[in-house]
A and B are shown apart, each in its own frame.
Chain A
Amino acid sequence: MLIKDQTSEVDVHLGDADRIFRSIKALSQSDGRWRYSSNNPESSTYAAGIALETVAGLISLASSEIDHSLVATIKNDIMKLFDGVERYDDGACYFDEKFVDAHGHQDPLSASSSVVRGITAFATATEESLNLPGDKIMGLAKFFLGVEIPGSAKDLYHQIDALACLGNSRVSVPLILSLPATVLSVSRKDQLKVRVNTVLGSSAPPLSVKLMQIFSSGSKDASVIDQELKFDPDHAVHVLETLPKNIDVGKYIFSFEISLQDPEHKKRYITGGRTKVPIYITGLIEVNNAEIAVLDSDIGSIEMQKKLDLSGENDVALLANHLQKLRLSFQLTTPSGKAFKPHQAFLKLRHESGVEHIFVVGDSGKKFEIILDFLGLVEKFFYLSGKYDIQLTVGDFVMENSFLRSLGHVELDLPDAPEKAARPPPQLVDSYSRYGPKAEIIHIFRSPEKRPPRELSLAFLGFVLLPFIGFFAGLLYLRVNLKNLPRSTVPATFAFLFHLGIASVLLLYALFWFKLDLFTTLKALGILGIFLMFVGHRTLSHLASVSAKLKSA
């Protein structure tokens, strides 16, 4: 039922324009939204925008046939739609969808841009003015400008189309006040510049910008300035030549007001009342009279004092024990000479094992001072004595020369920890060392037992063989002879075999020692033993008979 007709040049005669109008109107809901079709019971803001565009097209094509009362009802619908507009905290307004259809979410960007298109087309078609609330139009403009980088080509189309509609339409045109720079440096003598344009950047009608009030953050009071900015036609910016006198470095909120010079333009353009812009005025802060000292606790006398130059690195070496105090003091002044309180003023003491302690340096009116009483800090320092590196960090949003300086080190001598004292917290192990390869391990083999040297063993071999030689010598000494050897063949053979058998058994033993195993040895021994028994019996019986004959004879 949605007919998109873009052909406004062609003179199309739409019969039954009235009926079409009424049928479109029938789809509208009470809260100003429209339904997509009579079949779909859910309402959609996107559909509302499309419906308004269609109605505008209808009116432009066949304006004579449309009943004007119906046009008035459409205007009411638009008002109701605007009542449902949603707001962000910073004043931006947008139209949101409440339901999910099969295609996924119809996000607020496309819904709002379709509504803006619809309203603009309707206003152009009806040539009547719609009394839309100016702040809501301004809010819609802020919303579209707030989409900084659109995610897709479709989003970009929605954004730019909506801004173009807002820029040159018969609906009121919002004027946007913007500052190219909100951080100004007193030291560099920056000037405050303000630009006023329409939403897509085209130039505004002649107007003047006034700085009305300055609020300083943190305090409720505001100074009323009412100073007009000078218009620079070359760059189309309004410039504040000099900052008001009593503005020092700090965070402020400047309140501007746009006033249109032509009263006619007041109907067409929306200025948005007072615009508040946060401004940071920064400058170089001077650091003076910095000194560090070690004091004796009770008396307060100075043991060691060193002057510090905080514009560069320092390297002082101090000694202290737990009965003394450490004092650091310095002064900070702004470019206009007043005392300055930075947001961050830390003194950090870092032990060589990595344990760190941080203290806030407080101020006492004119100067910043911190006194570390080691007597009370002994437990906090976990009783760790040794070298502590001192570091001072001073910084603030408006300080252009915030610094982190290493001041040197102090050798602290603290008493020993009692048994129940807290252990210092474990320090972060360097991850690179944790993940590296481990040291190689080579197994050390057990060294073999110590053996006596070879020569010693051979010498003992010689000693062992000595008795054998001695045995031979003894035998010779005893004049042994082999007279009893049998002469006749048979006993001689047996005797020979007997001694051969003994020799072979001894040889078998030697062979067994060298390489044989017990089974073969026992087998061979069995065979040899039987042979030896037979032969030995014959020999020994022959010898016995010979000696018996000798005895009986």
Chain B
Amino acid sequence: MAGRKFLTISLLMLNLLSLLPLLTVSFSPDHPTDRRILVLLDDLALKSSHSIFFTSLQFRGFDLDFKLADDPSIAVKRYGQYLYDGLILFSPSTDRFGGSLDLEGVLDFVDSGHDLILAADVSASDLIRSVAAECGVDFDEDPSAMVIDHTGYSVSQIEGDHTLIAADDFVQSDVILGSTKIEAPVLFKGTGHSLNPGNSLALKVLSASSSAYAANPASKLSNPPSLTGTAVSLVSVVQARNNARIIISGSLDLFSNRLFRSAVQKVGSSYKYEKSGNEQFVTELSKWVFHERGHLKAVNLKHNKVEGTEEPSMYRINDDLEFSVEIFEWAGSSWVPYVADDVQVQFYMMSPYVLKTLSTNQKGLYHTSFKVPDAYGVFQFKVEYQRLGYTSLSLSKQIPVRPFRHNEYERFITTAFPYYGASFSMMAGFFIFSIVYLYNK
């Protein structure tokens, strides 16, 4: 009896121990795609009305944890460790989050490198608007304003106020929106926002057309609205310097099953698309925001003299050197070589002395060779790579550069021949003189 008990206990311990490695398979620098995502909803009916979006995420391997926004058991952090890798806020009208989450908590979550999808809507609460404002996106001051476009709306038999917009002004980026072009326009119904022109981290993914404006459809306009034209952004993304990615959308309906499945006909065009571009747009954007695409890492930064193979500790001016670096891109489950023709290296001391584009061997290895400048000091090899939609790469390696030693200069100079001639003729003259003077009578 005791033996059996012992056996069962040991089996149990063994099982528990074998689970330990699984606990470490989550977000880590070697495996950048997020795994566990917290979804906060206003209303549980969103779980079924947006089910196509959620099931597509679960199908790609994400662990979604649905909670009501004012659920008191919400916690993203416990004992200093984050419990989730990503956050989806589909709760535009929530004034306060439940549990231990608040505006500071959401911003800390993003600051620590985690991703966020935020959907606002008409009459969004101040909490949601301030989260967006901290991320660099300014929603319209009037909360009841919707984006109206009288020349870009979607033709419909049952909706007469032109607030359901068929937008097709996408950002040109294969990383963010995928390599297949989105043919059908994307249906959008909600508020618009604008980006501060000085913000270099935010980007408009879907902009409104030039005749769009944000106003309350029921009221007359006496002053021009603050958001008009192509400055109105419908969906924006922000990529922070620590590579956290944020999507901010002015419409919750953009993600809903109803708009995924609707047919679209933009006013003024006679072609009716059977299915709107929403599903493709949202799927590609979610792949980008959860780091399944566009996440780069650079390893093996090497330099050496042209003749040698190991890294010297110091270079001399006018030396010829070779430089190489390997760049990989995360493709959802493994690292694949990244191929591009615009990676550049700088040889930098206070300002770049040499800036060269690296040539690639199409397998992720980038190399080049150049001559060390004739300024001496402590230089850095710098690779700073920032492209639209990709994570930013910033690597540097320090190397000193010394001037010529005394014996590395030119040995014999033609200009000095008169001086050589003077010395030697002096020596010869002395020899002849010593003979002649001693034996002359």
Contacts and interface: CB of A to CB of B under 8 A. Distances in A.
B324 interface: no
A461 B418 contact: yes
Interface string A433-462: 011111111110110000110100110110
A109 B151 CA distance: 39
Nearest to B226: A358
Contacts of A151: 47-51, 257
B394 interface: no
Interface string A110-150: 00000000000000000000000000000000000001111
Nearest to B375: A443
Interface in A96-114: 105, 107-109
Contacts of A217: 218
B434 A502 contact: yes
A215 B224 CA distance: 29
Contacts of A393: 150, 210-211
B374 interface: yes
Contacts of A426: 197-198
Given A348-B229, A438-B344, A399 B150 contact: yes
Given A182-B157, A397-B161, A426-B198, A346 B45 contact: no
Given A149-B258, A435-B388, A481-B441, A107 B45 contact: yes
Contacts of A152: 48, 51
A317 interface: no
A553 interface: no
B421 A461 contact: yes
A191 to B, nearest CB: 13
Given A360-B222, A393-B211, A482 B435 contact: yes
A68 to B, nearest CB: 40
Interface in A485-540: 485, 495, 499, 502-503, 506, 509-510, 539
A284 B343 CA distance: 55
B356 A440 contact: yes
Interface string B225-239: 100110100000000
Given A402-B211, A464-B422, A443 B415 contact: no
B364 to A, nearest CB: 18
Contacts of A182: 157-160
A341 B50 CA distance: 39
B414 interface: yes
A425 B195 CA distance: 13
Interface string B418-429: 101110110111
Contact of B203 (A431, A445, A465, A543): A431
Contacts of B355: 438-441
Contact of A360 (B159, B224, B373, B416): B224
Contact of A183 (B160, B352, B373): B160
A217 B200 CA distance: 45
B213 interface: yes
B414 A454 contact: yes
Contact of A509 (B172, B217, B413, B427): B427
A431 B386 CA distance: 11
A395 B257 contact: no
B53 to A, nearest CB: 10
B142 to A, nearest CB: 15
Interface stretch (A78-86, A195-203, A222-230, A467-475): A467-475
Contacts of B45: 107-109, 147
Contact of B210 (A148, A251, A344, A404): A404
B199 to A, nearest CB: 9
B221 A183 contact: no
B224 A358 contact: yes
Interface string A343-358: 1101010000000101
10 shortest interchain CB distances as A-B pairs: A151-B48, A395-B150, A280-B160, A151-B51, A402-B150, A181-B157, A443-B373, A437-B342, A441-B355, A404-B211
15 contacts: A107-B44, A108-B45, A149-B257, A179-B158, A183-B156, A343-B217, A348-B228, A397-B150, A427-B197, A442-B356, A464-B418, A482-B435, A484-B440, A502-B434, A506-B430
